[in-house]
Amino acid sequence: MALYAYFKAEPTEYIFAYSNGRVLQQGAGRSFWYWGPSTSIAMIPLATVDTPFIFNEATSNFQAVTVQGQITYRVIEPTTISQLLNFTIDPRTHSYRSEDPAKLNQRIVNIVQMHTRNLLQQLSLQDALRSSEVLARNVFQRLLEESGLTGMGVACVSLFYTAIKATPEITKALEAEQREELQKRADQAIYSRRAEAVEQERKIKQNELATSVALEERRKELVALKGENARQEAEFESEATRIRLNPYRELASSQLLALAFRQFADNAHKIGNLTITSEILEQLLKG
C-alpha cells in the first residue's frame, strides 16, 4: 500500500475524506492527494439509482398478488446519509468496504412496499389488476412526503409498476370468467340481431297486409263504382229508349208496319234478301 496516493472522484460522486476524525476533503468530483495510513474515504453516489423490486401482497378480498416494478431515487443530502450508513471505500478499487450501500436499496424498497400494501388492501382483486398506473401515482405521491426518505437525505425520482399479477389458478379462473362474459355478450348480440330481424320481418308483413287491405278496399270501391255507373247507364238507356218509342204508342199496327217498310226501303242497299209473306201483306192491306 502506497503511503502517499492520489484519489480522483467522478462528478456524480460526493467524497468525504477523513483523517484523525477530521474532514480533510468534501465535495463532488474531488481530486486530491492523501496520506494512506491515516485517511479513510467515503463515497456517496449522486447519480440516480434504478432499483427493481418484486413482492407479494394481498387485496381487500384476501387474494394474493405479485407486484413488480422499479423505483428511481437519488441522494440529495450526502452529509445526512453518510451519518446513517457506512459508505467507506477502498481508494484503489472504489469498492465499498461494507454492505451498508446495498442496505439503502432494501430500505427504500421496504418503504415502497409498505405504501403499496396500504393501498392494495383497499382494492379488490379485479380493481388491483387494473390499477397499476393509479397505484404507482398514489404511492409516488406518498413517497414525496415520506419522512423516512427525507430523513436519510434521499428523494424519489420516479416509480412505476411493470406488473400486478394474481396467482396462476386465480388468473385462469378470471380468464375463464371473462371468456364466459364475452361469450354471453356475443350470444346476446346474436339474439338481439335475430329479434330485430324478426321484428323487421313482422313490420314488413304487416305493411304488406295493410297494403293488401288498402288495395282490396280500393278495389271494392272501384267495383261498387262500376256497378253504380252500369246501373245508372242502363237506367239512362232505358229512359232514352222509352222516350224514343213513346211517339210510336199512338200509331196503329199498319202504320208501324208501313214505317218498318220505309226503313227497309231506306236501307235496301244493306239488305241482301227480303221475304214478305201473304200474312204481312194482308195485315198491311187491312190497315
- Pair (12, 112) in one structural domain: no
63 and 118 co-located in one domain: yes
From 147, 166, 185, the end of a domain falls on 166
Q: What is the pLDDT, as a whole number, of residue 287? A: 55
- Which domain covers residue 35, as residue numbers? 1-47
Residue 189 lies in a domain: no
Please report the pLDDT score of residue 223 as a whole number. Answer: 84
pLDDT at 82: 92
* 3-state secondary structure labels for all residues of the chain: CCCEEEEECCCCEEEEEEECCEEEEEEECCEEEEEHHHEEEEEEECCCEEEEEEEEEECCCCCEEEEEEEEEEEECCHHHHHHHCCCEECCCCCCECCCHHHHHHHHHHHHHHHHHHHHHCCCCHHHHHCCHHHHHHHHHHHHHCCHHHHCCCEEEEEEEEEEEEECHHHHHHHHHHHHHHHHHHHHHHHHHHHHHHHHHHHHHHHHHHHHHHHHHHHHHHHHHHHHHHHHHHHHHHHHHHHHHHHHHHHCCHHHHHHHHHHHHHHCHHHCCCCCCCHHHHHHHHHC
CA distance 34 to 42: 13
| CATH number of the domain encompassing residue 108 | 3.30.479.30
* Boundary-marking domain end, from 140, 166, 192: 166
Q: What is the pLDDT of residues 170-222, one digit of tens each?
A: 767 666 666 677 677 777 878 888 888 888 888 888 888 888 888 888 888 88
Residue percentage of the chain with pLDDT more than 70: 82
Task: Say how many C-beta atoms besides its own lie within 10 A of residue 159's C-beta.
Answer: 24
From 166, 190, 214, the end of a domain falls on: 166
The answer to whether residues 108 and 141 belong to one domain is: yes
Mean pLDDT of 57-62: 90
In a domain, 226, yes or no: no
Same domain? 38 vs 57 = no
Q: Are residues 4 and 107 in the same domain?
A: no
User: Once rounded to an integer, what is the mean pLDDT over residues 10-36?
Assistant: 92
For the ranges 83-87, 134-138, 201-205, 271-275, the lowest mean pLDDT is seen at 271-275
Give the pLDDT of residue 230.
84
Closest Cα to residue 123, out of 58, 171, 55, 56? 58
137/58 same-domain check: yes
| Residue range 247-275, pLDDT digits in tens | 666 666 666 666 766 776 666 666 667 66
Percent of the chain predicted with pLDDT > 90: 47
Please count the structural domains in the chain.
3
Assess if residue 176 is contained within a domain. no
Same domain, 32 and 68: no
Is the confidence at residue 134, as pLDDT, over 90?
yes
In a domain, 130, yes or no: yes
Q: Quickly state the pLDDT bin for 3 (edges 50, 70, 90).
A: confident
75 lies in the same domain as 123 = yes
Quick one: 116 and 68 in the same domain? Answer: yes
Q: pTM (2 decimals)?
A: 0.60
Domain identity same for 118 and 162 = yes
pLDDT for residue 207: 86
